[in-house]
Amino acid sequence: MSNTPPEKAFILGAGFGTRLRPYTNDRPKPMVEINGRSLITRIMDKLTEAGVKDAYVNTHYLADVLADHLKSYEKQHDISIHLSHEPDILDTGGGIKNILSEFRDKPFYVIAGDSLWTDGDVPALTRLAQNWDSTKMDILTLMQPLKEMVLTKGIGDYSFKDERHVKRSLDKSGTHMWTNIRINDPSLFEKYEPEIQKNQKFSILPLLDACEKAGRLCALEHDADWHHISTPDDLEAVNTAFEKDDL
């Protein structure tokens, strides 16, 4: 296992957040606030605490608004933020591959820009780093048990086959929801090139499936809360809970 935590991260920030309107009418989804703090600010805080030095964020929808928000954050914190603007949105896989050279041959964190989670005794990003083993995995991701999802609705994306390996549930009857918080090995984009057919725009899902088939998709069960914020009702429920607990 690697003893060196990733020093770089990629945050998916280009989406439209259509289902979250009207909250996303004037801001991209990562800038939606929970208890007065934006989702992406909370992500950046966790990355900084984990020792990440460089964060790369892809942008598309209301890109200037997000850029200004991140520029303000960068001035006040010890992290360099790099923007990868996409005139044409490249989806969840293409956006990463577009700047893959920035990560060279080192594993890096990938986090959805709308991620919101709390940590257990050991922070989630630290747990991922402590369990990363490049000889056995191409992706190590967090899975949230559906039974622990109270404020927002969970979807049964995966079930554990053993302590570390998971199987995707095509009918969504699995026991866990994929959080889209993970460590990636940069070689996976070349290793599974046929799965993405050399397109510039593509979803990360075929790569997850290819990793699973190869036995190199590994997972940890998240030991705290993770929230799937998709609709205004989700946002309002989580915001109320965070205000109550002063989070």
Q: Which CATH superfamily is domain 8-245 in?
A: Spore Coat Polysaccharide Biosynthesis Protein SpsA; Chain A (3.90.550.10)
Q: Please give the pLDDT value at position 96.
A: 95
The answer to whether 28 touches 65, Cβ cutoff 8 Å, is yes
Tokens 């199987």, residue located: 167
Which residues, 6 or more positions from 219, have their beta carbon under 8 angstroms from its beta carbon?
140, 141, 142, 143, 158, 160, 164, 165, 166, 176
Q: Looking at residue 3, what is its pLDDT?
A: 63
pLDDT in tens, 102-114: 998 899 999 999 9
Could you write out the DSSP letters of every residue in 115-130? --B---SS-HHHHHHH
Domain boundaries, the chain: 8-245
Q: What pLDDT, in 10s, does the model give residues 226-241?
A: 999 999 999 999 999 9
| pTM of the predicted model as reported, rounded to 2 decimal places | 0.93
> Is the separation of the CB atoms in 157 and 178 below 8 Å?
yes
CB-based contacts of 188, cutoff 8 Å, min separation 6: 138, 139, 207, 211
The pLDDT-based confidence of 193 (bands split at 50, 70, 90) is confident
Q: Is the pLDDT of residue 211 over 60?
A: yes
Contact 134, 187 (CB under 8 A): no
**Rounded-to-10 torsion of CA 93, 57, 223, 1:** 70
